[in-house]
Amino acid sequence: MRLRPGDGPGDAPDNRDGLSIGDGSKPIRNVLIDGNSISWAVDENLAVWGNVADVTISNNIIAEALDQSIHPKGRHSMGLLIGGGSAKRITVIGNLLAHNRHRNPNIKDDSQQIEFINNLVYNWGPSGFQGTGSTVNILGNVYIAGPNSVDRPPLHLQDAGRPGPNFYVSDTLGEIRRDAEVGLSKAPTFAGSGAPVMPSAEVADSVLAHAGARLPEVDSTDLRIFEEVISRGGYIIDSPRQVIGGRIPRRAAGNAEEAEQNSN
């Protein structure tokens, strides 16, 4: 599927996700989200929130969440969120996250046994990987800075008072921020799903070859995003109008002071 809500008529802006998994305290189990193109959301491109377990998010494009759009909170380009207090056993593998200002991804609220494996993340803004008080294995991922990326490491990990170690990082191209407050594990923090993990050196080519909605063929929006990843071009957008029917000049990435004010 191609899920691109945009900023025209539709759901309320503060609830206009590309895709949301969760229904409050109601248990949601055994979900597979594979091979989709999810972009141009106003609230969140993809959210896993609440009493959700046993979910695989694989081979998707999660890109171009709208920034200075119609969200009542203002700037709100958000990629992938996992939280809500009882999310567990979530595997995120083989996805492309591109041109999302924050939440690349954000894993919070005591989420348990979350795997982030062989994902390609390009052109985050102030926030790359945000992990807070959850158990996460981060395996074989690739972070590539782009025109809007703040000049600091992408991994921001916080134990947040939870007895650790809570995070395991292996073969990931992207450093941990110096202000992280975390005790890293020397081995995976949980057994995991057994999903195969390829070396990070192979991730970019594999993700670009497999991610997104590919039937009957890859469409022009996804082809453009792939080209921007390869060329290190593109930018975080405010509206689909910026990338439909001709390009406008790239908006400046903003200064360091602005970036810090908008960081999480």
In this structure, are residues 19 and 53 in contact, taking their beta carbons and an 8 Å threshold? no
Tell me if the pTM is above 0.85.
yes
Q: Provide the sign of the torsion angle of the four alpha carbons 231, 232, 234, 237, taken in this order.
A: positive
Residue 136 sits at the vertex; the CA angle it makes with 93 and 170, to the nearest 5 degrees, is 70
What does the pLDDT read at residue 111?
97
In this structure, are residues 33 and 63 in contact, taking their beta carbons and an 8 Å threshold? no
**Domains, the chain, ranges and CATH?**
2-261 (2.160.20)
What does the pLDDT read at residue 245?
63
CA distance 225 to 206: 15
In this structure, are residues 195 and 167 in contact, taking their beta carbons and an 8 Å threshold? no
CA distance 116 to 104: 11
In this structure, are residues 148 and 126 in contact, taking their beta carbons and an 8 Å threshold? no
The residue assigned the tokens 């694989």 is: 58
What does the pLDDT read at residue 244?
85
Which residue positions in the chain have pLDDT lower than 70? 245-264
Helices (H) and strands (E) in the chain, counts: 3, 18
